């Protein structure tokens, strides 16, 4: 996992007079947003990471959860309306498996756990918090392993901790540290692929890693780096996984500094498949997306989203750091723009 710079930094500062034009393997294609959520009003970096909850009994009543780094958790319907706010502290990332959600809570210094009921009066219920014995939890993703909930927590020093969570009652939850790995530098985004015993991890200034979870001694394998020229740039931010039929699908990464998204095959060797941006609507009612932190995608057909739904954070409406929110994108539009199969 040791990385070396190809050119000394001092040499670069003396000789770099001009930046060569970027050469990409694919055109960067625009995809229009369909819906946007109500904004987190005010200035500052507030919105960060969304997660989609599928109501299996009534897909039209599915929800989008979104973190607020200043205050807590917002809950939205598929038409973008906010239906609930939970004032639980400074949440950074959130993820969902089935009816359980977990968020990294920087104010508490641990994990905040939620049960998603879908009930009209309180669709999301805060179960409780668990301490994680290390300051400033940054990213988090949730997976199922042997019938147990595993939260992977990433840190700015390159650490990834795996916590096994157990909901003991409606207002009690516990967590046990079961594994730790270390990469070289700041991490945030991650996503589990339980069907293939794998987790993907984003190292912000370097690239995307894949870690085999089938054994305790596996070493991370690189998926792509910012130096490979496939469209990925620093900061490498949110990661999400479109789970297709028979194990197929796509890994999607936010290349934050370039305001774009890179799509890879879910299966090794994780070949890059295309690059897209999320634009505003033709009538100007929805603005374009910039500087995305977190994102989530589901392949489940939903009303107005026959091939699935992508949700991405937008850092400004329209100015950066003002009235941040989340954009909902019809995945069928991404498929069509990039020539992907469902």
Q: What is the per-residue pLDDT for 63?
A: 98
Quick check: is 185 in a domain? yes
Q: Where are the alpha helices (DSSP H) in the chain?
A: 9-15, 331-338
Q: CA–CA distance from 47 to each of 38, 41, 87 (Å)?
A: 11, 10, 14
Query: What is the rounded distance in angstroms from the CA atom of residue 279 to the CA atom of residue 329?
Result: 10
SS3 label, residue 236: strand
Cα 269 from chain centroid (whole Å): 21
The backbone torsions φ and ψ at residue 229, rounded to the nearest 5 degrees and listed phi first, read 80, 25
> 50 CB contacts (<8 Å, ≥6 apart)?
64, 65, 66, 67, 94, 294, 295, 296, 311, 312, 313, 326
Residue-level pLDDT, tens digit, the chain, 342 residues: 444 333 333 333 334 445 667 899 999 999 999 999 999 999 999 999 999 999 999 999 999 999 999 999 999 999 999 999 999 999 999 999 999 999 999 999 999 999 999 999 999 999 999 999 888 999 999 999 878 899 999 999 999 999 999 998 878 899 999 999 999 999 999 999 999 999 999 999 999 999 999 887 889 999 999 999 999 999 999 999 999 988 899 999 999 999 999 999 999 999 999 999 999 999 999 999 999 999 999 999 999 999 999 999 999 999 999 999 999 999 999 999 999 976
Which structural domain range is residue 248 located in? Answer: 24-338
SS3 label, residue 226: coil
- Number of folded domains in the chain? 1
Tell me: cis bond preceding 72? Omega within 30 of 0 counts.
no
Quick check: is 2 in a domain? no
Quick check: is 239 in a domain? yes
For residue 300, count CB atoms less than 10 angstroms from its CB and return exposed for 0-12, middle for 13-18, buried for 19 or more. Answer: middle
Q: What is the per-residue pLDDT for 14?
A: 36
> 156 CB contacts (<8 Å, ≥6 apart)?
136, 138, 186, 187
CATH code assigned at 234: 2.120.10.30
Quick check: is 46 in a domain? yes
Query: Is the overall model pTM greater than 0.85, yes or no?
Result: yes
Quick check: is 8 in a domain? no
Please give the biggest Cα pair distance in the chain.
63
Q: What is the per-residue pLDDT for 8?
A: 38
**DSSP run (H or E) holding 91:** strand 91-97
- ∠ CA(227), CA(261), CA(22), 5° rounding? 40
Gyration radius of the chain over CA positions: 19
Quick check: is 141 in a domain? yes
Quick check: is 326 in a domain? yes
Cβ–Cβ under 8 Å, residues 254 and 208: no
DSSP conformational letter for 37: P
Q: What is the per-residue pLDDT for 18?
A: 57
Query: What is the rounded distance in angstroms from the CA atom of residue 201 to the CA atom of residue 179?
Result: 15
Quick check: is 148 in a domain? yes
Query: What is the rounded distance in angstroms from the CA atom of residue 216 to the CA atom of residue 214?
Result: 7
């Amino acid at each position: 996992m040791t990385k070396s710079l190809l050119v000394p930094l001092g040499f670069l500062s003396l000789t770099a007079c001009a930046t060569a034009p970027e050469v990409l393997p694919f055109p960067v294609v625009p995809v229009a947003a369909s819906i946007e959520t109500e904004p987190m009003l005010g200035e500052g970096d507030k919105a960060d990471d969304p997660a989609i909850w599928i109501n299996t009994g009534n897909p039209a009543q599915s929800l989008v959860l979104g973190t607020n780094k200043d205050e807590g958790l917002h809950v939205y319907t598929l038409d973008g309306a906010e239906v609930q706010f939970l004032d639980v502290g400074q949440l950074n990332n959130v993820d969902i498996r089935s009816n359980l959600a977990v968020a990294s809570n920087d104010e508490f210094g641990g994990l905040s756990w939620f049960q998603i009921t879908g009930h009209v009066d309180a669709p999301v219920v805060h179960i409780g918090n668990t301490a994680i014995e290390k300051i400033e939890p940054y990213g988090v993703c949730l997976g199922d392993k042997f019938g147990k909930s595993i939260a992977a927590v990433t840190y700015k020093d390159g650490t990834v901790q795996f916590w096994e969570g157990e909901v003991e009652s409606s207002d009690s939850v516990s967590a046990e540290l079961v594994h730790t790995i270390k990469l070289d530098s700041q991490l945030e985004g991650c996503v589990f692929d339980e069907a293939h015993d794998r987790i993907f991890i984003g190292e912000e200034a370097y690239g995307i890693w894949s870690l085999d979870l089938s054994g305790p001694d596996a070493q991370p394998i690189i998926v792509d780096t910012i130096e490979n020229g496939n469209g990925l740039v620093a900061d490498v931010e949110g990661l999400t996984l479109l789970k297709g039929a028979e194990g197929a699908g796509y890994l999607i990464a936010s290349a934050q500094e370039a305001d774009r998204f890179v799509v890879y095959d879910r299966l090794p060797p994780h070949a890059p498949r295309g690059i897209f941006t999320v634009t505003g609507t033709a009538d100007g009612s929805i603005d374009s997306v910039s500087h995305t932190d977190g994102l989530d995608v589901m392949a489940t057909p939903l009303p107005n989203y026959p091939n699935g739904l992508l949700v991405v954070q937008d850092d400004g409406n329209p100015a950066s750091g003002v009235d941040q929110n989340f954009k909902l994108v019809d995945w069928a539009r991404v498929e069509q723009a990039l020539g992907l199969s469902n």
